[in-house]
Amino acid sequence: MIRNHRIRAFFFLTIATLCWGLNANFSKLAVGEISPMQVVTLRWLGVVLLLLLFARARIRRDWPLLRGHLPFLALMGGCGFTLFNALFYVAGHHTSAINIGILQGAIPIFVLIGGLLAFAQPVRAIQALGVTITLVGVVIVATGGSLQTLSTFSINRGDLYMLVACLFYAAYSLGLSKSPKASPIALFAVMAFVAWLVSLPLVAIETWLQGWQAPTARGWLIVALITILPSLLAQLCFIHGVKLIGPARAGPFFNLVPVFASILAVLILHEVFELYHALSLLLVLGGIWLSEIGKHRPTD
């Protein structure tokens, strides 16, 4: 039974990271088509409407349980969905894609440290080695395999935004293990609704500062795809995965995101697949494997 849980968790987490890798391509396609805060607001509004349309029975069934945890769920939705997305998109205006790729790999480190500090979850040496190896893979794919590029890495305002975004998502990941025992869809629906509410002031501030520019037809299509794949499908898969194996073991899967983003860029944006892409993929997968076998588990 435990082995089946791991297989299911790995499947859900891989689908989630694949969708998030695809989201990196959507973000690039969205430039000039729809503003960053419009994407944040419309994606969560779309998720809420879809869940109300197709999952309202489950939401109604679990509402008595969820109602007693509204402050916690509001914090989760605001941190893990709205603030992470908002900081991620704003960081792109102040720092390079190389920096964002490297700093996003800090999420599993923050998860492990947070688990140790908040829940006294032990971190074994082989787990730390696994996370380190996955980070090496992230650095390789983010820098294009160039040591010269890595040597020019510097901290700026955008880097700080991205680090704070990673902290928010790590906190969200840790919080999932303490979420109420409701169905993942109902749990997600409440957090998505909060995410949409929290995004409204952000899009209002963006409009006040920059003016309102309506999304183009292509922008509407992009936000629809973002709503269905990285916003809805990926989040549900991630919630399932964390519930099955916990946040510490799910954390290293975040490092698949830049790898999938690179592979999908070849297919969607017709970018060239280089040797360093293959090397980074091997390192990330190897690091996840080391982190998994290093976790102390009961006998299967």
Asked if 176 and 244 touch (Cβ cutoff 8 Å), the reply is no
Asked if 95 and 159 touch (Cβ cutoff 8 Å), the reply is yes
- How far CA 154 is from CA of 95, 100, 103, 144, 254, in Å, comes to 9, 12, 12, 16, 23
pLDDT for 255 = 74
pLDDT for 235 = 81
Domain extent for 55: 2-293
Give a yes or no: residue 30 inside a domain.
yes
Predicted model pTM: 0.77
Cα(42)–Cα(22) distance, rounded to whole angstroms? 18
Give a yes or no: residue 299 inside a domain.
no
Residue of 78, 62, 72, 76 lying closest to 181 (CA atoms): 62
Give a yes or no: residue 114 inside a domain.
yes
Digit-by-digit pLDDT tens for the chain (300 residues) are: 556 778 888 899 999 988 988 887 787 778 788 888 999 999 999 999 999 988 888 889 999 989 888 899 999 999 889 999 888 877 766 766 556 666 777 777 788 778 777 776 777 788 788 778 877 877 777 676 676 666 666 567 777 888 888 889 889 988 887 888 888 888 889 999 999 999 999 999 999 998 888 999 999 999 999 999 988 898 888 888 888 888 777 767 777 887 787 778 778 877 666 777 778 778 877 877 777 676 644 444
Give a yes or no: residue 142 inside a domain.
yes
Give a yes or no: residue 236 inside a domain.
yes
Tell me the torsion sign for CA atoms 66, 72, 75, 77.
Answer: negative
Give a yes or no: residue 298 inside a domain.
no
> What's the number of domains the chain is made of?
1
The DSSP symbol for 165 reads H
Give a yes or no: residue 68 inside a domain.
yes
